[in-house]
Amino acid sequence: MLGTLSGGSVRVTAETRRNRTRVFAPAPGSARDAGVGSNVAQVSQGKLEDVSTTDRTADRLKVHPVVRAAAEWSWRLVVIAVALYVASQVIARYEEVFVPIGLAVLGTAFLVPVVDWLNRRGVPRALAVVASLVVAIGAIAGIMTFVVQQFIDGVPDLTDQVTKTIDDSRGWLVDGPLNIRQEQIDHLGDDSIKFLQDNQDKVTSGALATFTTVSEIVTGGFLMLFLMIFFLYGGGQIWRFLTLAIPEGSREKVWEAGQNGFGSLVGYVRATVVVAAVDAIGIGAGLAILQVPLALPLASLVFIGAFIPIVGALITGSLAVLVALVTQGWIAAVIALAVVVGVMQLESHVLQPFLLGRSVRLHPVAVVLAIAAGLVTAGIVGGLLAVPIIAFLNTAIRTLVNKSKSIDDDSELAEVAAATGKEHERMYEAEPDRPKWDDLDAHGARGPKAEKPDDDAAPDDKRGSSADSS
């Protein structure tokens, strides 16, 4: 505990006297030139020296400081690793519940700006939620219907192109430099047909598993829609209710961290939609110019894959190049590859830094590792949700750290003022008009009766409360 300087004397508690003796030695010059320090004695141009008087302190001195620090870091890292492992196992075990929740949060992040805009224009929030969901579902259903119809219409052309390519490849294998006999090629085809016949049971079980997966998708879709209705209508109220489980001293920090994290998620989803649209339009236009079959379905696949940064666009672009190779030959494949590479370069060097860089500041290594962890934990959906989760946690943790640092600085300023009787100017001021936790309505916005705090009185009030708490 810190001793308190009052009237030129030092008051030391009994606990402090039992554990250690504090000796004040004058120090030349001020030790506070760089800003607020960590104890009162340094502020008043003094220096503290700790003289150990207990056996426990002597035993600690026998351990090298580096070894002690390494041990402390090690057990903390072990606890964090165990917590992450348990969380991943729980998520994998109840994937059918957590995946719709994650997708509902993403959908909410995409539609909440529209709902808020309609609500500010006088539309009741319930009506704004219903209208936004109806328009979004209608747009998705219309686009999917059009894409599926284009796929059905393009399958015959694709089949003819693939058949022609196989015949040409077979002729090249027989008459080309490999000089493979026709009997070997026919034998390979017969073996393939026999393999399918022998594994018919596995194919049937796979079809049943696919039916089960479709059922899970339908169930998860209804759960996602149900959650989105409540998230869009009263997401702020739900988050405020959840923060009631947090101790009162940290409640506002956690609430603000969640708000900022969700704001970062809104920016991420909005920017990703723009990036995905540019990728799909660019690659789809290139495939259409090359007269590659299924250009529109492939462009739609590129749009969906772009929601998995780095990896998704690479895989879907490679599939487009492969279709161009099979149907149009190697020249068209090379041109399609150039189109895909050009679009990806535009995405990496222009769109992502300009759009995603403002909402998500993550290193590419962190993005790839997060996607890998998501794919291992929950498959494709896990890879889709990995980066948004990391973006949310990144912003929320930064908010908590900065908020805690600001509170620590306020406490130190109060200790300095109480010890020296002098007020020290702040290095910065918090935003005076930021709404507090208790000033918000059910949707997370400032209530109509909430008053803006006085800019001049706020610093004095904070100093006074900090001094009282100290």
Q: What is the pLDDT of residues 196-239, one digit of tens each?
A: 556 655 545 554 454 456 677 788 889 999 999 999 998 888 98
pLDDT tens, residue by residue, 275-328: 888 888 999 899 889 888 888 888 888 888 888 877 787 888 888 888 888 888
| Confidence label for 178 from pLDDT (cuts 50, 70 and 90) | low
| Confidence label for 193 from pLDDT (cuts 50, 70 and 90) | low
Give the containing element (helix H, strand E) for 28: none
| Confidence label for 126 from pLDDT (cuts 50, 70 and 90) | very high
**What local confidence, expressed as pLDDT, does residue 3 receive?**
42
Considering the domain boundaries, does residue 351 fall inside one? yes
Considering the domain boundaries, does residue 231 fall inside one? yes
**What local confidence, expressed as pLDDT, does residue 134 receive?**
94
Considering the domain boundaries, does residue 203 fall inside one? no
Residue 23 has pLDDT above 50, yes or no: no
Strand partners, 4: 11
DSSP 440: B
Average the pLDDT over 335-355 and give the result.
83
| Confidence label for 410 from pLDDT (cuts 50, 70 and 90) | low
Q: Map tokens 């894409």 to a residue.
A: 147
Considering the domain boundaries, does residue 426 fall inside one? no
CA nearest to 96, candidates 371, 383, 381: 381
**What local confidence, expressed as pLDDT, does residue 74 receive?**
93
* 6 SS3 class: strand
Residue 354 has pLDDT above 50, yes or no: yes
**What local confidence, expressed as pLDDT, does residue 135 receive?**
93
* 231 SS3 class: helix
Q: Which domain holds residue 348?
A: 96-194+215-400
Could you give the percent of the chain with pLDDT greater than 90? 13
Considering the domain boundaries, does residue 205 fall inside one? no
Categorise residue 329: left if φ over 0, alpha if ψ from -120 to 50, beta otherwise. left
Query: Are the CB atoms for 357 and 261 separated by under 8 Å?
Result: no
| Confidence label for 118 from pLDDT (cuts 50, 70 and 90) | very high
* 33 SS3 class: coil
Considering the domain boundaries, does residue 61 fall inside one? no
Residue 124 has pLDDT above 90, yes or no: yes
In this predicted model, which residue has the larger pLDDT, 179 or 79?
79
Residue 440 has pLDDT above 60, yes or no: no
Which range among 24-33, 142-151, 166-175, 186-195 shows the weakest confidence by mean pLDDT? 24-33
Considering the domain boundaries, does residue 10 fall inside one? no
**17-45 b/e (C-beta count within 10 Å ≥ 16 → b):** eeebeeeeeeeeeebeeeebeebbbbbbe
Alpha-carbon span 252 to 20, nearest angstrom: 36
Considering the domain boundaries, does residue 391 fall inside one? yes
**What local confidence, expressed as pLDDT, does residue 436 receive?**
47
Total count of domains within the chain: 1
